[in-house]
Chain A
Amino acid sequence: MMLALEMYRSMPRYIAARAVGGRVPGILTGPAAPVRLVNRAEPRSVAAGWARVKPILSGICGSDLGALFGQTSMYFSALVSMPFVPGHEVVGELVDDCEDLPAGTRVVLDPVLSCAARGVERCQSCANGQTNRCDRVTVGHVSPGLQTGYCADTGGGWGGQLVAHRSQLHAVPDGLSDERAVLVEPIACAVHTAMRAQVPDGGSVLVSGAGAVGLFATLALRELTPAGRISVVAKHARQRELARAFGATDVLSPDEVPARVRRATQAFRLSPDRSGEFLLGGVDVAIDAVGSKDSLSTTLRVTRAGGRVVLSGMPAAGADLSPVWFRELEVVGTYATQGREAFARAFDLAASAPLDGVVGGRYPLYRWREALDHAHSAGRLGTVKVAFDLRSSR
């Protein structure tokens, strides 16, 4: 048996029942609470190529909070199986040998449960090496679940043990601390985002949001693309500092975005009737790293004609798409990562970037309410990443 946090309500029912607003502990302790701390059986390896992993540190991702809050679109309800143990930003230790990796190896997880893990014939995307676009995430050896952390059979990082397929595992170099290694998965996602951004030489980029997603995107854009000015929208003092440390040219607060982007790009600024202002002209590329309606609306409105808007945060519904049409914007999504290369680059960044102190809170599982509350208010509290420390939870 192992201790684990479990999301046990069906998301559709939870979303229907959820009270609007309120702080996390209120929701988490109330009757609608979708998670609980349980003792449950450890997940077992399902087929060849699978092995057990004992998580060491396991991050709390914005998408996890979205699911707990019921803010996630109903779209995803068909892509998960209940009850599941969340947690997909994992650094852990192999319990069993896993093909070429001996037991005891420290690993990080590529959480996507693609064709290889499911033991089905590879879909077109997987055949192209784009496992994040896999079409078979609901069939095969394990229950539906787009990722580890959303699948009933695999376990997740917020529990004492999980199982993973060799295709998901990346060995951690010896010199890299657990605190940095736990950031490799989100950094790999940011690397993928930076690639999807297709920044032109010297191009101007706006990153809306300075949580973990926005900050790591900034880091990846600065290190891996020929971006010129990178402007980061940040609310809190510590976020502003980190954005600069990660390569931002300038940092804006949310209410000054149209004005500052207009200045930086010498655009024209228009104020329509009963609607937000927008620019004619603007940045070459905008990254929405928040996923809120406001953030998406802003990024669409300050991107130049023919520019690119990258949806990096899990998006909310309801933004006005007029600028996409009128400005001929390219709107692209960026989900997880495409295979080994992004992880290789993420390992390099995790080793070299100024990441000390980025994991700002570590909690044992039984302190889950405080942990989730902390993660929910991370920006305000000056924390980038909150993680569960599983060594103290067993």
Chain B
Amino acid sequence: MSRPGFVLEVDDRTPPLIVHEGEGFRLEKFPLGTRVVYSPESLPALRDVDGAIKHALEEPENSEPLRALLRPGMKLTIAFDDVSLPLPPMKRPDIRQRVIEQVLTMAAEAGVDDVQIIAALALHRRMTPSELKHALGERVYRSFAPDGLLYNHDAEDPDNLEFIGTTDQGEEVEINKRAAQSDLLVYVNINIVPMDGGHKSVPIGLASYRSLRHHHNSKTMVHSRSFMDHKKSAMHHSAWRMGRLLKDHLKIFTIETTLNNDVFPAPYEFLNKREWEWNVRDQATMLAAKRGLALAPSKMKRKIFQGMQAPYGITGVHAGETEAVHEKTLENVYRQQAVEVQGQSDVLIMGVPYLCPYNVDAVMNPILATCMGLGYFFNSYRNKPVVRPGGAVILYHPVPYEFSQLHHPSYVDFFEEVLAESTDPATIEQRFEKQYATDPWYIHLYRTSYAYHGVHPFYMWYWAAHAMDHVGDVVWVGADRRAVERMGFRAASTLADALEMVSGTVGRSPSITYTHNPPHLISDVR
């Protein structure tokens, strides 16, 4: 039986606690009275995953069974979440493979032979052949990719986009043409955070920039409280309007899956446990890992971390009509991740790990580190942020002044050029976004290489907008000073220094909360 989320108050018996910081972690002794929020222990995994998929397809939510929607001569398109999910990547077989194999089997039985499979990557980088193979399995890849029937969505290919219409708020809906013209679109999602899934899947994953700009902008992002709660997120409101408009034009069958918290593989399982429950072996592997990582050259560290694959358990598979499915999904996700937290504190401390959705196989550059800390983790709350308005956030990450030219070419320019001018999301949106979004070179690299779209760093920065707006102070522990100062933050070498630096904002004896993730958690702040 799993245990619910846990909130610990640091006393003099509390051991030093693990804090993630990029490709490594440290053991930190927190001030007495610090509140530490742990995610709930992993939920038990479904024992018969294939059976659960079968059941979901045959008895879907608020929809006819998938089998009944399939008929000979029809156009079937299957879209799936791209390489940004899950984090870390899932040990084989990936759940997408297991779902899609069953959908394909059913389609074949029904005599459907016009099938295409699309990675719904919006403005993310394209998936490489080996990533596609990993997500969908060797068999699906070999049967579809060589004939061009398994491919990456291209949000900049005017010949393969279709304009659907405009919502009552004037938002233009434009998505992948093949998907739009299909008799049935099956969307396969992995839900790792409640931000994803629902109407975020099709209207965003298969959209063009023209459509995305209506919700991916600084105004909606700063008005999303939080991204993890679609009912309180302006971005999601927009996606929901688009999704409801799409529903009238296109039959969509949504399949959403949820995961438990088994994030770290052997020998790093101790990272899934609470420190005071470590046994002797955990202690020993922890020390060995810590020492090993401290000595390893950064290239090797990156290889170790980027090579990690999580032994996730599947906690649920739901299929059918999008909104009904998403309700069930959210229940599962909250069951796994939500922790009740009483009241806000003056200071919020978070360790930023090595991976975010946008640096698979690449260094986590300063903008992504910010997005991870102030975008993802800060927004991992319901009701209200863990830190009070005007409080301080302390983040751990080395924030290397380093970028992948292959994956993040526009990030380099954004960091060097845009942030040198301003760090204010609204200002940079107004002055620079369009130029970056329409730059033909970035578009070329997005379409033909493995680059994120030119506008992507803007979106990452907007994500952090709500946090930057909400808190008075952001300090990074152990970070490259030059890199964080470019972004308008400050760097400290130790937690004590960081607390000293924020004392002007929060006083000398602030209340402190440390959210101990990963594994992922959502603070339900009462």
Contacts and interface: CB of A to CB of B under 8 A. Distances in A.
B439 A260 contact: no
B76 to A, nearest CB: 38
A345 interface: no
B293 interface: no
Counting chain A residues whose Cβ lies within 8 A of the other chain, the interface size class is under 10
A324 to B, nearest CB: 23
A259 B413 CA distance: 7
A269 B413 contact: no
Nearest to A262: B441
Contacts of A256: 416
Interface in A245-270: 256, 259-260, 262-263, 266-269
Interface string B440-455: 1100100000000000
B331 interface: no
A260 B441 contact: no
B440 A260 contact: no
A260 B420 CA distance: 13
A260 B413 CA distance: 7
Contact of A266 (B412, B416, B417, B439): B439
B417 A263 contact: yes
Contacts of B416: 256, 259-260
Interface string A90-123: 0000000000000000000000000000000000
B441 A267 contact: yes
Interface residues of B, number: 10
- Majority-rule SS of B interface residues: helix
Interface string B399-439: 00000000000001100110000000000000000010011
A96 to B, nearest CB: 56
B440 A266 contact: yes
B460 to A, nearest CB: 18
A259 B412 contact: yes
Nearest to A260: B417
Contacts of B438: 266
Nearest to A259: B413
Contacts of B441: 262, 266-269
Nearest to A271: B405
A279 to B, nearest CB: 9
Contacts of A259: 412-413, 416
A166 to B, nearest CB: 51
Interface string A214-233: 00000000000000000000
A117 to B, nearest CB: 50
Could you say which of A263, A267, A268 has the most chain B C-beta atoms within 10 Å of its C-beta?
A263
Contacts of B439: 263, 266
Given A260-B417, A263-B417, A268 B440 contact: yes
A269 B439 CA distance: 12
B84 to A, nearest CB: 26
Could you say which of B417, B435, B439, B441 has the most chain A C-beta atoms within 10 Å of its C-beta?
B441
A48 B435 CA distance: 63
Contacts of B413: 259-260, 263
Contacts of A262: 441
Nearest to B436: A263
A234 to B, nearest CB: 14
A196 to B, nearest CB: 30
A326 to B, nearest CB: 19
A253 to B, nearest CB: 9
Contacts of B440: 266, 268
Contacts of A263: 413, 417, 435, 439
A260 B435 CA distance: 13
A290 to B, nearest CB: 22
A52 to B, nearest CB: 53
Contacts of B417: 260, 263
Interface string B16-42: 000000000000000000000000000
Interface in B248-290: none
Contacts of A269: 441
A268 B444 contact: yes
A259 B412 CA distance: 9
Interface in A261-319: 262-263, 266-269
A267 B417 CA distance: 16
A62 B412 CA distance: 35
Nearest to B439: A266
Interface string A358-385: 0000000000000000000000000000
B425 to A, nearest CB: 20
Nearest to A251: B420
Across chains A and B, which 8 residue pairs bring their CB atoms closest together, nearest first? A263-B413, A268-B441, A266-B439, A266-B440, A259-B413, A269-B441, A256-B416, A263-B417
Given A259-B412, A263-B417, 18 more contacts: A256-B416, A259-B413, A259-B416, A260-B413, A260-B416, A260-B417, A262-B441, A263-B413, A263-B435, A263-B439, A266-B435, A266-B438, A266-B439, A266-B440, A266-B441, A268-B440, A268-B444, A269-B441
Interface of B: 412-413, 416-417, 435, 438-441, 444
13 contacts: A256-B416, A259-B412, A259-B416, A260-B413, A260-B417, A262-B441, A263-B417, A263-B435, A266-B435, A266-B440, A268-B441, A268-B444, A269-B441
